[in-house]
Amino acid sequence: MTFYIKQNDTSPHLSATLKDADGNLIDLTSATVRFHMRKIGGSTALVDAAATVVAEDAGSVRYNWQAEDTETPGSFHAEFEVTYASGDIETFPNDSYVSVEITDDIT
């Protein structure tokens, strides 16, 4: 999946449905979710922020962009990190990344 957004925009939000390796929806009841993003080839996260759980029983999450998140155009890798009520941590997607393309503004 590739998500496109223009430089300095905060909309649209990045939404995802989290599933396990068998395609089953992840139960996010009492879980917290963080969104991480880094420039491709980079080693430091440029975004490490709370994501919103939209539907606990349907694995639905959303990240609401902040202005500073999209100020640098380029290609990025992103992921959602889930911390379950048990304290266990799982990252989605776990076999790749969400691709994010921030396109530069004309002005």
Q: Tell me, what amino acid is at 36?
A: H
Reply yes or no on whether the pLDDT at 1 is more than 90: no
Q: Has this prediction a pTM greater than 0.85? A: yes
Report residue 67: phi and psi, to 5°. -55, -40
Tell me how far apart the alpha carbons of residues 19 and 22 are, in angstroms, rounded to a whole number: 8
**pLDDT for the residue numbered 107:** 76
| Bridging pattern class, strands 2-6 and 98-103 | parallel
Tell me how far apart the alpha carbons of residues 92 and 28 are, in angstroms, rounded to a whole number: 12
- The stretches of 1-107 forming alpha helices (DSSP H) are none
Each residue's pLDDT tens digit, 27-83:
999 999 999 999 999 999 999 999 999 999 999 999 999 999 999 999 999 999 999
Domain span holding position 92: 2-103
Reply yes or no on whether the pLDDT at 8 is more than 80: yes
Domain count, the chain: 1
* CATH classification at residue 15: 2.60.40.3350
**pLDDT for the residue numbered 18:** 97
DSSP letters for 34-65:
EEEEEETT--S-SEEEE-EEEEGGGTEEEE--
Partners of 50 in beta bridges: 34
